[in-house]
């Protein structure tokens, strides 16, 4: 659940954000915040972002710290569980992607690919609260 993801992330947020070498860039918020996405495109963005984190981000976030790794595993498995639920909406055509949300997600991928993979993954993980805040506001 989002609550569990938030609690897992809160436990490692400071540590992960301290590992982020590039403070001048944002992956999720550049150039526009997630909050600018219209309500019709929210499910599409959420579905794509869950896939993005599961497929691309978490696997490149392994650290030397066993506690951090356990918390990342906890978040990743929660994402997997929620990705499955969102996947059902997508299959039932309740999660349509319009031009705006498609463009928005393309921008996020471009931001991600503009950095080396480890920096991009750590930065994306460090920005999880942006995603969680947006999801809770969009409920």
Partner 1 sequence: DALLPAPQNISILSTNMKHFLTWSPVIIQRETVRYSVEFQGEYERDYANESWIPICECSFITATVCNITEDISATVAYKLRVRADVGTRRSEWGTLKGFFNRITTSLTPPVMKVTADGYHLLVELEDMGPAFQFCVLHWKKGQESRMQQKVVKEVDSVVHLDTMEAGTDYCVKAQTYVEVINRSSDFSQTQCVRTQGGRSVWLV
CB of 56 vs partner 1, minimal distance in Å: 10
CB of 17 vs partner 1, minimal distance in Å: 21
Q: Does 79 bind partner 1 (CB under 8 A)?
A: yes
CB of 69 or CB of 138, closer to partner 1: 69
**Of these, 26, 69, 107, 119, which contacts partner 1 (CB under 8 A)?**
69
CB of 78 or CB of 111, closer to partner 1: 78
CB of 34 or CB of 122, closer to partner 1: 122
CB of 107 vs partner 1, minimal distance in Å: 24
Residue 102 and residue 97: Cα distance in Å, rounded? 6
For residue 3, say if its preceding peptide bond is cis, omega within 30 degrees of 0: no
Q: Does 35 bind partner 1 (CB under 8 A)?
A: no
CB of 106 vs partner 1, minimal distance in Å: 23
User: Three-class SS string for the chain?
Assistant: CHHHHHHHHHHHHHHHHHCCCCCCCCCCCCCCCHHHCCHHHHHHHHHHHHHHHHHHHHHHCCCCCHHHHHHHHHHHHHHHHHHHHHHHHHHCCCCCCCHHHHHHHHHHHHHHHCCCHHHHHHHHHHCHHHHHHHHHHHC
Q: Does 138 bind partner 1 (CB under 8 A)?
A: no
List residues binding partner 1 (CB under 8 A): 1, 3-4, 8, 54-55, 58-59, 66-67, 69-70, 73-74, 76-81
């Amino acid at each position: 659940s989002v609550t569990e993801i938030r609690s897992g992330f809160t436990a490692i947020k400071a540590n992960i954000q301290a590992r982020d070498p590039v403070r001048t860039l944002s992956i999720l918020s550049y150039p526009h915040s997630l909050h600018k996405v219209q309500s019709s495109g929210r499910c599409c963005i959420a579905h794509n972002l869950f896939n993005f984190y599961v497929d691309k981000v978490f696997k490149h976030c392994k650290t030397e710290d066993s506690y951090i790794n356990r918390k990342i595993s906890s978040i990743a498995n929660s994402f997997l569980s929620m990705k499955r639920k969102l996947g059902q909406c997508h299959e039932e055509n309740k999660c349509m992607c319009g031009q705006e949300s498609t463009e928005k997600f393309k921008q996020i991928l471009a931001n991600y690919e503009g950095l080396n993979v480890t920096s991009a993954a750590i930065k994306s993980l460090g920005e999880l609260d942006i995603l969680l805040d947006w999801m809770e506001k969009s409920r």
